Structure 1
Amino acid sequence: MAQSNSGSSNTLLVPQATAGLNQLKYEVAQELGIAIPQDGYQGNMTTKDNGSIGGYITRHLVQIAEQQLAGK
């Protein structure tokens, strides 16, 4: 998710989506009861917590895409 991480191989197809994805990350973390440090650095978080956030975001984005394809 973090575009500022120079070691990241993930590239967004729509760079303007960065703010929305970051907001979604914080909302999902809050729903799951996981605290993301204020500075945004997730390197000290557990792999389980980061994986939970990423998995939930993926499920959510797939749900949105399915709804759009179904015309809802």
Structure 2
Amino acid sequence: MNLQQKMNVNAKPALNNLKTEVANELGLSNYDQADKGNMTARQNGYVGGYMTKKLVEMAEQQLAGK
């Protein structure tokens, strides 16, 4: 297993938790167990978009030394 694969394995649970938190904030309860095929593209897109926004904010704070 190379370094990239190890990083992905370690990051996956944290990203799944972030996805669940974002979905809950958007009012999509039980998102991790929901049938995504029955959700609108907008609902699924909001989760991904807000995850990206939060990850960028976290990176900016880290780069700023906070």
Question: In structure 1, which of residues 54, 61, 66 is the aligned counterpart of residue 48 of structure 2?
Answer: 54
Larger Rg: 2
2:27 to 25, 28, 33: 33
Structure 2 distance, partners of 1:34, 1:70, is 32
Counterpart of 1:42 (choices 36, 40, 43) is 36
Q: Percent identity?
A: 54
What is the distance in 2 between the residues matched to 1:59 and 1:29? 13
Higher relative contact order (Cα pairs below 8 Å, separated by 6+ residues):
2
Structure 2 length normalisation: TM-score? 0.77
CA distance in 1, matches of 2:14, 2:44: 18
Structure 1 stretches of 4+ moved >6 Å: none
Count of residue pairs the alignment pairs up? 60
Counterparts of 1:26 and 1:55, CA distance in 2:
13
> Between Structure 1 and Structure 2, which shows a larger proportion of helix residues?
2
- What root-mean-square deviation, in Å, do the aligned CA atoms of Structure 1 and Structure 2 show? 1.9
Gaps of at least 5 residues in structure 1 are 1-12
